[in-house]
Structure 1
Amino acid sequence: MGLKGKLIGSIEVKCGGSPIHDILHTNTHFLPNITPRVLNHFEIHEGETIKIGSVVSWKFHQDGKEIFLKEMIESVDLEKKSITWKVIGGNMLESYNSFTIITSSEYQWTTVTLMYEKKTEDTPEPLTLLNIFLTGLKDIESHLLK
């Protein structure tokens, strides 16, 4: 038991959630330049920018190790400013059977939700990964406030 988990982190953003969602939705390819201390690489493999069915990949460092995530966009809700990214390949699937990342923005808040199923009870909760996402969101906010 205890193999499935959900972590949620929200940060207040002075620029508002809509501009952050816009970068995540339409200008994702700029993220390595906006968040260089977090994200090393972003690539679209199939589809367009961030559309349902698009396949994208990210590279970043976590605890001194390069992490590669390959994700498929499961849903985009423009009204709720939400994107659901299902991990379909990469390092994360070495420790987790499934991993889904949901980003959402509203008013002055941006939220990251990690839903996952660990392969073993000993697999740690992805707290470091949640922190990486929140740090990236703070970098996006700083970029937008310039």
Structure 2
Amino acid sequence: MGIEGKLEAELELKSTVDKLYKRLKSEIHHAPDASSDKIHAIEVHEGDWETPGSVKLWTYTIDGKKETFKEKIEVDDETKTVTLVAVDGHVLERYKNYKLIIQIVPKEDHAVAKIAINVEKHSVNVPDPHDYMQFAMGIVKDIDEHLVAQAQ
């Protein structure tokens, strides 16, 4: 058994809970438009853009290095949570298991993205996924700003 770890962060949002949740859940193919400096492409490999359990392949650049991430999506409409479970790609070179969890939570007059990354490391020498957390936060922020710009 490897070493399990979890990182958590919160990000204040400007767009609405429903718009951001819908974009993450079923319109993620628009992410390269919002975050072209990070995400190059997202392609469906199994299923479609909307069905939980569908598999997508992401191509992106993190810390100046081009990587891929093949994920299976899980959604919870009640809690407005999207979970991306790694099934292949560069993150699995570092971690036995990798889950990115994004929950969109309403707050008084705005929304907050609660972002968590759960990993199981191959060994104690593997670093915590701080780089992937910064990357995920940057993408959510870019999508949020893109949605706000589209609404104007």
TM-score using structure 2 length: 0.89
Where 2:137 maps in the other structure, the secondary structure is helix
Compared with structure 1, are the counterparts of its residues 2 and 97 closer, same or farther at alpha carbon in structure 2 (3 Å cutoff)? closer
Compared with structure 1, are the counterparts of its residues 2 and 45 closer, same or farther at alpha carbon in structure 2 (3 Å cutoff)? closer
Following superposition, which runs of at least 4 residues in structure 1 exceed 4 angstroms of deviation? none
Contact 2:2 2:122 in 1 (8 A): no
Unaligned runs of 5+ in 2: none
- Coordinate RMSD, CA, aligned: 1.5
Aligned partner (choices 133, 141, 144) of residue 144 of structure 2: 141
Contact 1:71 1:86 in 2 (8 A): yes
User: Aligned partner of 1:117: which letter?
Assistant: E
Partner of 1:13: 13
User: Aligned partner of 1:6: which letter?
Assistant: K
Q: C-alpha distance in 1, partners of 2:115/2:50?
A: 17
Aligned partner (choices 96, 115, 129) of residue 118 of structure 2: 115
User: Aligned partner of 2:147: which letter?
Assistant: L
Q: C-alpha distance in 1, partners of 2:103/2:50?
A: 14
User: Aligned partner of 2:45: which letter?
Assistant: H
Bigger shift: 23-32 or 2-11? 2-11
Q: C-alpha distance in 1, partners of 2:75/2:126?
A: 30
Number of equivalent positions:
145
User: Aligned partner of 1:140: which letter?
Assistant: I
Contact 1:38 1:61 in 2 (8 A): yes
Partner of 1:53: 53
Contact 1:18 1:106 in 2 (8 A): no
Contact 1:101 1:115 in 2 (8 A): yes
Q: C-alpha distance in 1, partners of 2:47/2:137?
A: 26
CA shift, 1:93, in A, is 0.8
Q: C-alpha distance in 2, partners of 1:38/1:17?
A: 23
Q: C-alpha distance in 2, partners of 1:53/1:26?
A: 12
Partner of 1:24: 24
Compared with structure 1, are the counterparts of its residues 50 and 123 closer, same or farther at alpha carbon in structure 2 (3 Å cutoff)? farther
Identity over aligned pairs, percent:
30
Where 1:37 maps in the other structure, the secondary structure is coil
Compared with structure 1, are the counterparts of its residues 5 and 50 closer, same or farther at alpha carbon in structure 2 (3 Å cutoff)? farther
